Amino acid sequence: MNIISKRFATDEHLKENLAIGVKFFLCALVGVLFVVIPNPVATASTGWIVKLTTLVATWFIKITGFAVKAGNLQGSSDDLIILPKKVLAVNLECTAIYLMIIFAAFVLAFPSDYKNKLIGLAAGIPLIFVANILRLFAIAIVATYSPNLFTSFHDYVWQTLFVVFIIVLWLIWIDKVVQREGQVSLRN
């Protein structure tokens, strides 16, 4: 019997997994609604991450030898990464905030103690931020050397890679942190 069929072998496991799914959905919904619905708290609390993402990505692109500078479009919440051949607009979606919320929802919904959840969030969210900076760097390379591939790379390749990265990061957290403590096993 494989891991998945073992996991759903009993009604108790089915109820537990349904509860995890409901918790995940509610955590993700609250997080996304907080960021998406225009309100003064969300606006004030998310503008800094756009600026930080733009500045760190621009710095990283610059230290690798590219001619680049950061900018801001007057009257817009977008920041800019200005390359010689292309200008990249960095908005809230470019910060990986939604993926951080989804990862946080995965961690918070999974049955584990608060210490393990804190470890997962403290390690996972900065890793997602760093991976996003690497994503912006790769997009800048594509924009510079293969501008015809930019849209495909931005819209499809990195979206897919990032979703896979989030799931793998969550599974690593379960395997290395949660199961290490002997709290939960996906194998019974």
What is the distance between the alpha carbons of residues 4 and 40, in angstroms, rounded to a whole number? Answer: 44
Burial 13-22 (b: 16+ CB within 10 A, else e): eeeeeeeeee
In 3D space, the residue among 90, 89, 87, 67 whose CA is nearest the CA of residue 143 turns out to be 87
Question: DSSP per residue over 170-186, as a string?
Answer: HHHHIIIIITTTTS--T
Q: Write out the two tokens for 169.
A: 């990061």
All residue ranges of the chain with pLDDT < 50 are 1-4, 7-8, 184-188
Report pLDDT for 130. Answer: 96
Report pLDDT for 188. Answer: 41
* pLDDT tens string 111-128: 888 888 899 999 999 999
What is the distance between the alpha carbons of residues 138 and 123, in angstroms, rounded to a whole number? Answer: 23
Report pLDDT for 127. Answer: 97
Give the dihedral sign, CA 105/158/174/3: positive
Helices (H), the chain: 3-7, 11-36, 40-63, 97-109, 114-145, 150-152, 158-173
Report pLDDT for 43. Answer: 56
Report pLDDT for 150. Answer: 92
